Amino acid sequence: MHENAEHCIRAVQSKDARFDGWFFTAVLTTKIYCRPSCPVVPPKPKNMTFYPSAAAAQQAGFRACKRCRPDAAPGSPEWNVRAGLAARAMRLIKDGVVDREGVPGLAARLGYSTRQVERQLQAEVGAGPAALARAQRAQAARLLIETSRLPMADVAFASGFASIRTFNDTVQSVFGMSPSELRRRGRPSSAAGAVALRLPFRTPLCPDSLFGRLTATAVPGVEEWRDGAYRRTLRLPHGHGIAELRPTGASYVRCTLTLSDLRDLTIAINRCRRLLDLDADPVAYDDALQDDPLLAPLVRKNPGRRIPQTVDGAEFAVRAVLGQQASTAAVRTHAARLVQAHGEGVADPTGGLTHLFPSPTALAGLDPAALALPQKRKDAVIAVIGALASGRLDLGAGSDWQEARAGLGDLPGVGAWAVETIALRALGDPDAFPVSDLGVRLAAAALGLPGTPAALVRHARAWQPWRGYAVQYLWAAGEHAVDKAARDDVASPPTAFVSPASPVSTEGSS
């Protein structure tokens, strides 16, 4: 979008927050870059130039606006929709791969040369992987400076900088202030070891089904709903963490992160954003889905539904395969047994979280006899765990969606429902379509949509590339409790969320 100057100028002059993250406005006279919705008086059009990313603006010598904080804008939704090299690279950079493994490590994961990755990102985003990682480190540094009482040296290394000098120079260059000046403007968290922040998103957002579905399927000990917030444990590269996510009714979700190693801050933030699908562009997919007169009333009733995703693709794959031909309550029970037997314990002084979900490596030696499941589903669970543990199946941030689908489909006992559900929620493919899901089929029949899977797939071609969001509206077409947010202050999901009447698909729970 940044190449269409006329559209960008109109968005800036109208202060349209829907375009935050789509592009960034740099002001030639002040050398400052802003998000489109910046509250200051818009500059003259002749003084504006536009960049596709904050990293590109920083690389061109512009510093971040102190009013609108463009580095904290929602991410571009473009990387959620696309599955090409640039999109995969962007997702891996967000997940901290460049900081941990360098640009060569990023290229190796993508299966391309360093030069090809550099060239593609420069063309698509206006900055190479090193510049994108630098911008991400700067944002992490600002968050730690403003929200914690950590010494500056600890902040520098926790945010991924190799030296204090580089940290000081980057903060001064990006924000136009020294780290000490930033701290004087901040509001340190009162909770020891916790970082409190806001996760912005593009409005509208319908929180009921989003938090309701996460709560309904919560695995005891790993996830819970407590005091009006969804909480869960996180397995991170340098340790573990606990995330608390609270809907506010404003244009942000309140997030509190308690991390064993603050180097994981940026990764934890991005995984929480992905979990709640906060970088989505609801205007784009809602407008497209309203073209179908049968879906339009559902969209108008509660616009901005998001796809509840995951913080760990491997974890969700195991849970999804456990869920084939099973109710939501049964899946939670089976998953909880795996957690108790194989999960790594964590301390949660303020809640009821007790474990990390076991990694594929920890589950690799699982005795099939320990699974109280039909033989076909046992075979599927063991096959998925083996493929994940060996590396034959990649469901990580930079995975190729079609390769992952093919790999899942080749495993014994993994049905089409599980493949598409994993594509939807673990891979984040917004066009994934679990057509055999019973909840989808019942809603389709109630709305007058075609009744057979083949006919429904043909009808759903008009919804592409947003069929995954259409599924969210179909799931919410009824009045089931799974699609409503938990409202009681309890340590685990209320009974209504996990009753045996929870939706069950022809191949798995929805």
CA distance 316 to 291: 32
CA distance 226 to 246: 10
Asked if 509 and 323 touch (Cβ cutoff 8 Å), the reply is yes
Phi, psi of 430 (to 5 degrees): -70, -5
List beta partners, residue 180: none
Burial per residue of 62-101, b for 16 or more beta-carbon CB atoms within 10 angstroms, e otherwise: bbbbeebbbbbbbbbbbbbbbbebbbbbbbbbbbbbbbee
Name the token pair of 60: 């061109």
Beta pairing class for 252-259 and 239-247: antiparallel
Contacts of 15 (CB under 8 A, 6+ apart): 36, 37, 38, 39, 42
Q: Which of 8, 34, 68, 206 is catalytic?
A: 34
Cis status, amide bond into 434, omega within 30 of 0: no
Instruction: Classify the C-alpha dihedral 45-49-50-54 as positive or negative.
Output: negative
Q: Quick check: is 34 catalytic?
A: yes
Local structure of 93: helix, strand or coil: helix
Q: What is residue 355's DSSP assignment?
A: B
Q: Which of 71, 312, 437, 483 is catalytic?
A: 437
CA distance 40 to 65: 10
Asked if 149 and 188 touch (Cβ cutoff 8 Å), the reply is yes
Question: Which of 354, 169, 140, 167 lies closest to 262, judged by CA?
Answer: 140
- Alpha-carbon distances of 419 from 318, 404, 507, rounded to whole Å: 11, 9, 10
Sheet of 194-200: strands edge to edge? 194-200, 252-259, 239-247, 229-236, 223-226
Name the token pair of 108: 């190796």
Active site members: 34, 437
